[in-house]
């Protein structure tokens, strides 16, 4: 996709053809690289043709962000990986998957795959049919809770890197989160607690 990591994974001759096997294979390979670092600058510059200023609902994007009220936040991610849920003139709502530990991230993604429009992963029309209301109403999507975030256009610090659907699983497991004011273990602990709470 956008870096040498994706190139290595996607160029392997062992990629299975069937979807379920492919997803499991991608996840297994991605887990092997989580010991390293996925540098945001390198990711953003890896494939400039995928950079855009336009956000479309149901698509996955990565971008650099500096929250307006960061002094009041317990922690925040400066390099979100999101599915866009809603757009407005001032900002957008996204599902930032970095807030979940990898196991829960994979479980949420498996449930989200049931809401994919179009099976053609090379088609720009391929997207998730998902909204905040859908997330709240479906028990199999309960892992969404820590991931819902609102972003201001004025506080984005880069263009948006569009992640093609056939690379969703790889992007999902890359160690690209950049949390400030707390380490990743603290974020994951809080997220597990939030997921376990009853509605």
pLDDT for position 43: 74
Q: In sequence order, what are the residues at sequence separation of 6 or more whose Cβ sits closer than 8 angstroms to the Cβ of residue 77?
A: 65, 96, 98, 99, 177, 178, 179, 180
Over residues 24-43, the mean pLDDT reads: 58
Q: Is residue 63 within 8 Å of residue 23, measured between CB atoms?
A: no
* Among 169, 164, 168, residue whose Cα is nearest residue 47: 164
pLDDT for the residue 24? 59
The pLDDT of 177-186, averaged and rounded, is: 95
Of 123 and 2, the one with more pLDDT: 123
Residue-wise DSSP of 6-42: HHHHHT-TT--SSHHHHHHHHHHHHHHHTTS---HHH
129 pLDDT more than 60: yes
Specify the pLDDT at position 35.
47
- Identify any residues that bridge with 86 across adjacent strands, giving them in sequence order: 93
CA atoms within 13 A on the CB side of 62: 29
The pLDDT, as a whole number, for residue 70 is 96
Q: State the pLDDT at residue 5.
A: 41
Cβ of 116: how many Cβ atoms within 10 Å? 16
DSSP state of 164: -
Please compute the mean of the pLDDT values over residues 144-172 and round it to a whole number.
Answer: 92
Domain that holds residue 59: 4-196
* Overall domain count for the chain: 1
What are the CA-CA distances from residue 70 to residues 60, 66, 144, 179 (Å)? 24, 8, 22, 11
> Of 5, 35, 9, which Cα lies nearest the Cα of 175?
35
Task: Share the mean pLDDT of the chain.
Answer: 82
Q: Note the pLDDT of residue 3.
A: 41
């Amino acid at each position: 996709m956008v870096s040498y990591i994706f190139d290595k994974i996607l160029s392997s001759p062992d990629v299975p053809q069937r979807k379920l096997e492919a997803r499991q294979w991608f996840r297994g390979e991605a887990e092997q690289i989580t010991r390293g670092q996925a540098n945001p600058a390198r990711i953003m510059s890896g494939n400039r043709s995928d950079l855009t200023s336009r956000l479309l609902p149901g698509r996955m994007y990565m971008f650099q962000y500096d929250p307006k009220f960061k002094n009041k936040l317990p922690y925040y991610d400066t390099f979100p990986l999101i599915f866009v849920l809603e757009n407005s003139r001032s900002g957008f709502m996204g599902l930032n998957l970095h807030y979940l530990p990898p196991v829960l991230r994979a479980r949420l993604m498996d449930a989200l795959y049931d809401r994919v429009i179009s099976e053609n992963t090379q088609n720009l029309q391929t997207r998730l049919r998902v909204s905040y209301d859908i997330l709240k109403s479906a028990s199999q999507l309960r892992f969404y809770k820590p991931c819902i975030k609102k972003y201001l256009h004025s506080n984005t610090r880069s263009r948006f890197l569009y992640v093609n659907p056939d690379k969703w699983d790889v992007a999902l497991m890359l160690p690209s989160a950049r949390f400030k004011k707390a380490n990743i273990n603290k974020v994951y602990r809080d997220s597990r607690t939030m997921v376990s709470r009853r509605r």
